[in-house]
Amino acid sequence: MEVLKTQLANGMQVLLKEIHTAPIISHWLWLRVGSRDEPKGLTGASHWVEHMQFKGTEQFPAGKLDKDISRDGGFWNAMTYIDWTTYFETMPAPKIDLALRLEADRLQNSLFEEAEVASERTVIISERQGNENHPLFKLDEEMQATAFESHPYGHEVIGEMADLESMTRDDLYTHYKRYYAPNNAVLAMAGDFDAGQMLERVKTHFEGIPAGEEPERIAQDEHEPAEERRVESRGPGETIFVRAAYRAPRANHPDFFPLTVLDSLLSGPSNLNLFGGGISNKTSRLYKQLVESEKAVGVSGGLQATIDPFLYNLTITVHPQRTAEDVIPLMDAEIARIQDEAPGAAELARAVKQAEALFAYGSESITNQGFWLGFAEMFANYEWFENYLKGLEAVTPEDVQRVAQTYLRPERRVLGIYVPEGRN
């Protein structure tokens, strides 16, 4: 299926993909702003602005939004990440103009009323407090701060508590006006429409919105780590977690695909699509080594597609009768084994097929297709998505060994241990 890709006069990128399998359209508006764009003092601003986008405009008051979408048989949501913020509506095809009108309006006319800002402050602080009760949030936050000393990838998307308590309505509104402009946006639509006709409808709603100034980017290159750093986090619970976070390449780096296959081989494939499910990782090396031997009750990996080099995580849920010291040497031994000897052809083929299957499961629905149209543009382009399977299939055993040797070195990682206070 061909994708119509163009740019409006005001700089907005538009991607339209016809899919005529069902009378449904998924409409996505992506903004190139996330926690990557937040300095100290404003951490969490992008996520908070996302919340405020549901608090209404003059044309679409807060109480009216949900009712209008639901009445027309649609569903909607939004997400903020380290590199981007996105809003989507999946609607019956004849009703899609509501999504176009809504997003064009709140791209420029959200109110940010003081009372609503105060209300959302309470909501977001409560969300953060809830996260703090989760062991992996606490561990992850401390590890990110340790891994990134200058790059804003060092703080969580939700922001630091001190900033959530001190940010003002004007801080948020300024952030909104700085980044919410058509020339900093990608509009992606997939579904049952004629692309040429839909482009005219998009122009009607969006092309009259004036372009904004090109926002200044604060992210700077983080120096390469020179030695292993360790983090120990303590908190509620009874389960020990071990996480190894290795500095990983950006998504458009040639090594991203070999590292994706290495991830599949070691711990089972990572899902890049936030709407996708998972598949079994019982054939992975770390599962066999740690779970089958009852040293751990679970293992997982996490490779994410990002603009700048981020982290590849290996996470181990330690067996109740074991300790962190029981599992770390075994994890390191498996990594050393693949660094010393390239995987065999059959094992490589299985790891590639599992990564391909997970990718396929996360690309099936019209909503997923709309997601991928815009998501790939945030860190590369849609051709990256279209060539994803070819990228995996081109990976050789020697490629996997090389990226293991390059990226999974102790000096490139932060090693974190969560120590539960309830553990005897």
Q: How far apart are CA 310 and CA 119, in angstroms?
A: 33
pLDDT score of 277: 62
Counting as low any pLDDT under 70, the low residues of the chain are 274-277, 423-424
Q: How far apart are CA 244 and CA 416, in angstroms?
A: 6
The answer to whether 199 and 4 have CB atoms below 8 angstroms apart is: yes
Neighbours of 5 (CB within 10 A): 17
pLDDT score of 423: 64
Q: E strands of 282-392, at which residues? A: 296-303, 311-318
pLDDT score of 274: 66
Take residue 410 and report the two structure tokens written for it.
């102790």
Take residue 163 and report the two structure tokens written for it.
């900033």
pLDDT score of 167: 98
* Per-residue pLDDT tens digits for 18-67: 999 999 999 999 999 999 999 999 999 999 999 999 999 999 998 788 88
**Residue 192: closest CA among 73, 382, 26:** 26
**Residue 279: closest CA among 362, 400, 364, 349:** 362
* Per-residue pLDDT tens digits for 191-231: 999 999 999 999 999 999 999 999 999 998 899 888 999 99
pLDDT score of 361: 83
Domain annotation for the chain: domains and CATH numbers:
3-206 (3.30.830.10), 229-420 (3.30.830.10)
DSSP letters, 160-220, are: -HHHHHH--HHHHHHHHHHH-SGGGEEEEEEESS-HHHHHHHHHHHHTTSPP-PPPPP---
Number of residues in the chain: 424
Q: How far apart are CA 143 and CA 416, in angstroms?
A: 7
Q: How far apart are CA 80 and CA 33, in angstroms?
A: 8
**Residue 110: closest CA among 10, 185, 181, 166:** 181
* Backbone φ, ψ for residue 221 (5° rounding): -60, 135
Beta bridge partners of 315: 243, 300
3 state SS for 87-132: EEEEEEHHHCHHHHHHHHHHCCCCCCCHHHHHHHHHHHHHHHHHHC
Question: Would you state the torsion angle of the CA atoms of residues 172, 175, 178, 179, taken in this order, to the nearest 10 degrees?
Answer: -110
**Residue 93: closest CA among 3, 194, 6:** 194
> 380-383 long-range CB contacts below 8 Å, 24 or more apart?
380/251, 380/252, 380/305, 382/3, 382/5, 382/15
Take residue 344 and report the two structure tokens written for it.
């065999």
Give 90's Cβ-side CA count (13 Å radius): 15
**Residue 290: closest CA among 261, 324, 340:** 324
